[in-house]
Amino acid sequence: MADELIAVEVAYATPERQTIIAVTLPAGSTAEQAIAASDILQQFPEIDLSQRKVGVFGLICKLDKPLTDGDRIEIYRPLQQNPMDARRGRLQK
């Protein structure tokens, strides 16, 4: 079992670009290990994992969450605008 590998994806998006990086890790690896293995932090130096939330398929999780084969780890950005304020603005137009 120690030789078992899992394939996961690490995703991050800015308004200009979306990046999804596939990585292969040992079974039992965590979300933080997948992010580190993807080198996405070098591509986007503005990501601070102590300030950003992460999730697996849209469900927020902690960095120490064990992953399973096929998971997609998502790094979330802060909202630019409150969704309710944006909706009110569209309705007023």
Residue 2 confidence (pLDDT): 56
Q: What angle do CA 39, 51, 5 make, to 5 degrees?
A: 35
In the β-sheet with 54-56, what is the strand arrangement from edge to edge?
18-26, 5-13, 72-75, 54-56, 59-61
Residue 8 to residues 48, 79, 92, Cα–Cα distance (Å): 21, 26, 43
**Number of domains the chain is built from:** 1
> pLDDT (tens digit, 0 to 9) for every residue of the chain, 93 residues total?
457 999 999 999 998 999 999 999 999 999 999 999 999 999 999 999 999 999 999 999 999 999 999 999 999 988 777 778 778 877 787
What's the CATH code of the domain at 61?
A: 3.10.20.30
The predicted model scores a pTM of 0.81
Question: Residue 55 is part of which domain span?
Answer: 5-92
Give one DSSP letter per residue of 4-57, joined into a string.
-EEEEEEEEE-SS-EEEEEEEEETT-BHHHHHHHHTHHHH-TT--TTTS-EEET
